Amino acid sequence: MPVYALGPDEPDIDPSAFVHPDAVVIGRVSIGAEASVWPGAVLRGDLGGRIEVGARTSIQDGTVLHTTEQWPTAIGPECVVGHNAHLEGCTVERHCLIGSGSIVLNRATVREGAVVGAAALVPEDFEVPPKTMALGAPVRLRGTPVDPSWVEYAVRTYRDAGARYLRDLRRIER
């Protein structure tokens, strides 16, 4: 897998985490236990801020995590970040689901148990309250309580897939 130090900044990847060989991890990045980072994902901790990926969190195919000098990107434990999402300088608390194609911008916060729908835009300085759905671009909040079993199922699925890939993935040269 392409994992790069940038000057003195080296990624810290837990040995039980799965990082696909086609993902790229650069600089000040921390990936927790049983987390997974899938093909085409790019985690760039290169502008002074830090990226933290919590335990059992999955960063799916094509996702970009980035920072700024002022704002780190922190994703809590047991989160699912869907395919082709872009998160930059934001905080996602534990047990959240960020839908495919979503964008979460600087200083935005997604509180515990919230769901950001597919293709949603969470603008700068916006806060998604706990256990709330945020849909649309820009997002609008739906007071509908989020069923935690959605996120639990997705977390389990990707935790188990990451463990399987860590154990069984092998490249075939043709």
Q: What is the pLDDT of residues 47-73, one digit of tens each?
A: 989 999 999 999 999 999 999 999 999
**Residue 12 covered by a domain:** yes
**Residue 74 covered by a domain:** yes
- Report which of 8, 53, 2, 55 is spatially closest to residue 27, judged by C-alpha positions: 8
- Report which of 37, 86, 36 is spatially closest to residue 63, judged by C-alpha positions: 86
**Residue 66 covered by a domain:** yes
- Report which of 85, 29, 46 is spatially closest to residue 96, judged by C-alpha positions: 85
Q: Which of 17-21, 40-44, 86-90, 148-152 has the lowest mean pLDDT?
A: 148-152
CATH code at position 144: 2.160.10.10
Percent of the chain scoring above 90 in pLDDT: 91
pLDDT at residue 150 tops 90: no
**Residue 174 covered by a domain:** no
The structure's pTM equals 0.95
Percent of the chain scoring above 70 in pLDDT: 99
Q: Give the DSSP letter string of 118-165.
A: TT-EE-TT-EEPTT-EEETTTTEEE-PPP-HHHHHHHHHHHHHHHHHH
**Residue 172 covered by a domain:** no
Structural domains counted in the chain: 1
The Cα 59–Cα 39 span in angstroms is: 9
Q: Which residue has the higher pLDDT, 46 or 2?
A: 46
What is the per-residue pLDDT for 1?
65
The pLDDT of 76-84, averaged and rounded, is 98
Q: What is the pLDDT of residues 92-118, one digit of tens each?
A: 999 999 999 999 999 999 999 999 999
Q: Residue 24 is part of which domain span?
A: 3-167
**Residue 103 covered by a domain:** yes
**Residue 134 covered by a domain:** yes
**Residue 173 covered by a domain:** no
